Amino acid sequence: MKVNEVKNSILVVDDQEINRVILAELFKEEYNVIQAQNGEEALNIINSDNDIIAVMLDLVMPVMDGMTVLIELNRTGKIYHMPVFIITAADNMQLLSSAYSLGAVDVISKPFRMCFIKSRINNIIELYRHRNELEDVVNESIAKIERINNKMVEVLATLIEFRDCESGEHVKRIRGITIRLLEKISADNPEYYLEKRSIEKIGMAAILHDVGKIAIPDNILQKPGPLTPDEFEIMKIHTVKGCDILSQMPEDIMDEEVYRYSYDICRHHHERWDGCGYPDKLIGDDIPIWSQAVAVADVFDALTSARVYKSAFDYETAINMINDGDCGLFNPKVLKAFNAIVDDIIKLRKGNKS
């Protein structure tokens, strides 16, 4: 080891001190060896020390056994980046099979055969190290591509907003409100649960909700007054035109999941809970929850923004209009989430106001 080089840590978990001492002595030159005498101690150490690169785990221990530790490491995904070696004197194939199914990579049998243990464990640790490094490189490449794609989507959405006499801040506010609203909806309603990464992608998709307005004539889109019934029918087609535009975008421009969310949102952000929206008159949860969230975000931002055909409403008036159904009926659970975080939304709205 080089001078001043920081050692990585390995964790030895066994209720028998003699076993911990033997393994610690064996690996002390290459690693910082941390010891735990039961599964509960082990999890506390793992959760507080990100430098652990391998675990040697006994299965039969008091307080918390090794299988429980494996289940938890599997649940959190940590086992995919950190090899776990089973320490056991038992020849219980069913138990070992269960351990392997939970992600254990090898078995260290008691009594220890010192000449084999070190090379086996070092080889697997090195394999994991290379795999983790490669995964980091791949993830960084994916992130870079996503950043480029997201910027292109933002530019496209902003161009549409300029044509609609908006500053481009509208789409940014819609993105922020949608994300915050979906986080609350997801937290309070298991049936609508979405992972954080999916919510972020929905936020990106939300900024394209009105991309179909590029197909609407200027005399209607920028009319400084109420639309006639015929003009409103033309305006309504921006939902389906948006889907047409998205379907013509090259596959490498947009993430597949973002595309799916964008398509749903473009088409359905004017649907309403009672089926009185457009273009498909969907009812209730036939409307995707992400489209429902964008619908509320879009209405709130539109009400509180000055447009060529109206002045901005104050926040209290806008909130009352949404809750009273003046802008169409919304899912009661979505409204509950909206009302719970409306102060946060107003702060976000003020912070991004153009």
Please count the other Cβ atoms lying within 10 Å of the Cβ belonging to residue 106. 15
Is the pLDDT at 261 greater than 90? The verdict is yes
The tens digit of pLDDT for each residue in 61-74 reads 999 998 999 999 98
Q: Are residues 83 and 174 in the same domain?
A: no
Quote the pLDDT of residue 354.
43
Query: What phi and psi, each to the nearest 5 degrees, are found at residue 237?
Result: -75, -5
Does residue 127 fall inside a structural domain?
Answer: no
In the chain, the number of structural domains is 2
Quote the pLDDT of residue 2.
42
Q: Cβ(52)–Cβ(10) under 8 Å? A: yes
Q: Are residues 43 and 156 in the same domain?
A: no
Query: What phi and psi, each to the nearest 5 degrees, are found at residue 53?
Result: -110, -5
Give the whole-angstrom CA distance, residue 217 versus residue 223. 10
**Could you write out the DSSP letters of every residue in 65-91?**
-HHHHHHHHHHHTGGGTS-EEEEES--
Give the whole-angstrom CA distance, residue 347 versus residue 214. 30
Q: Cβ(226)–Cβ(311) under 8 Å? A: no
The tens digit of pLDDT for each residue in 164-175 reads 555 457 778 888
| CATH number of the domain enclosing 51 | 3.40.50.2300
Q: Are residues 252 and 328 in the same domain?
A: yes
Does residue 275 fall inside a structural domain?
Answer: yes
Does residue 239 fall inside a structural domain?
Answer: yes
Quote the pLDDT of residue 222.
83
Does residue 119 fall inside a structural domain?
Answer: no
Q: Are residues 345 and 223 in the same domain?
A: yes
Does residue 120 fall inside a structural domain?
Answer: no
The tens digit of pLDDT for each residue in 22-63 reads 888 888 888 889 999 999 999 999 988 768 889 999 988 999
Q: Are residues 250 and 203 in the same domain?
A: yes
Structural domain for 327, as ranges: 142-351
Q: Cβ(264)–Cβ(288) under 8 Å? A: yes
